[in-house]
């Protein structure tokens, strides 16, 4: 059993009943956030509980864990986890420079300004590198957006949107999504005939 699975079971039990918001749970939940970040796991309920505990016990707030929770929430786009997490933060916490930067990144993703996102993500590399699989999770979201937006797209545009310049890496993402490359420099994202339902 992995550390993630063992901690998930422990945290599930901790979150049952009246002891859910016991401040003594904070260290265990912080440790669990670290485990999620290192093992590329995700548990929204536990993360929201930690933020709620910080809200009720502001002296215990650890900005590093708040940042990790927010970055983990971004990895679950297009779901609204980031907004849920942000709603549990005080105005004072929302004004911290690290949180402002993460909010800017979220805004860039939500408005599909992916090229800008990849440029700006360099600013918080110290936070992002704590979250295993962050870039791949964001690329999955970008591919989701490409799939619902385009029928065909230039291959270099895919590279720009995914924040990649290496052709072999771009080709892996094209293949992973079941897209096909044409000779004309375009990638066929969806086949119109397949989209039509009878």
Beta strand pairing status for 186-188 and 152-154?
antiparallel
What's the pLDDT tens digit per position in 97-128? 999 999 999 999 999 999 999 999 988 888 88
- DSSP lists the bridge partners of residue 152 as 188
Give the integer Cα–Cα distance in Å for 131 and 150.
30
Cis peptide before 44 (omega within 30 of 0): no
What's the pLDDT tens digit per position in 43-68? 999 999 999 999 999 999 999 999 99
Architecture of domain 3-132: Alpha Horseshoe (1.25)
Give the integer Cα–Cα distance in Å for 85 and 87.
5
Closest alpha carbon to 39 in 79, 14, 7: 7
pLDDT value at residue 197: 55
Band the pLDDT of 160: cuts 50, 70, 90. Answer: very high
What's the pLDDT tens digit per position in 26-41? 999 999 999 999 999 9
Write down the domain spans for the chain. Answer: 3-132, 150-198
E-strand stretches of the chain: 152-154, 180-181, 186-188
pLDDT value at residue 191: 59
CB atoms within 10 A of CB 27: 11
């Amino acid at each position: 059993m992995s550390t993630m699975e063992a901690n998930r079971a422990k945290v599930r039990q901790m979150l049952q009943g009246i002891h859910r918001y016991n401040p003594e749970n904070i260290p265990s939940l912080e440790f669990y956030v670290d485990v999620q970040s290192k093992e590329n796991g995700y548990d929204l309920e536990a993360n929201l509980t930690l933020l709620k505990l910080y809200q009720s016990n502001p002296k215990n707030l650890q900005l590093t864990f708040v940042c990790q929770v927010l970055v983990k929430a971004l990895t679950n786009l297009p779901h609204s986890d980031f907004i849920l997490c942000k709603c549990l933060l005080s105005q004072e916490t929302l004004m911290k420079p690290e949180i402002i930067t993460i909010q800017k990144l979220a805004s860039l993703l939500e408005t599909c300004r992916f090229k800008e996102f990849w440029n700006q993500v360099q600013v918080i590399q110290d936070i992002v590198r704590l979250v295993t699989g962050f870039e791949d999770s964001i690329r999955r979201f970008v591919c989701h957006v490409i799939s619902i937006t385009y029928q065909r797209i230039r291959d270099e545009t895919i590279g720009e949107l995914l924040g990649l310049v290496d052709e072999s890496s771009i080709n892996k993402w094209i293949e992973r999504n079941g897209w096909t490359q044409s000779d004309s420099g375009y990638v066929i994202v969806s086949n119109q005939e397949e989209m039509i339902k009878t």
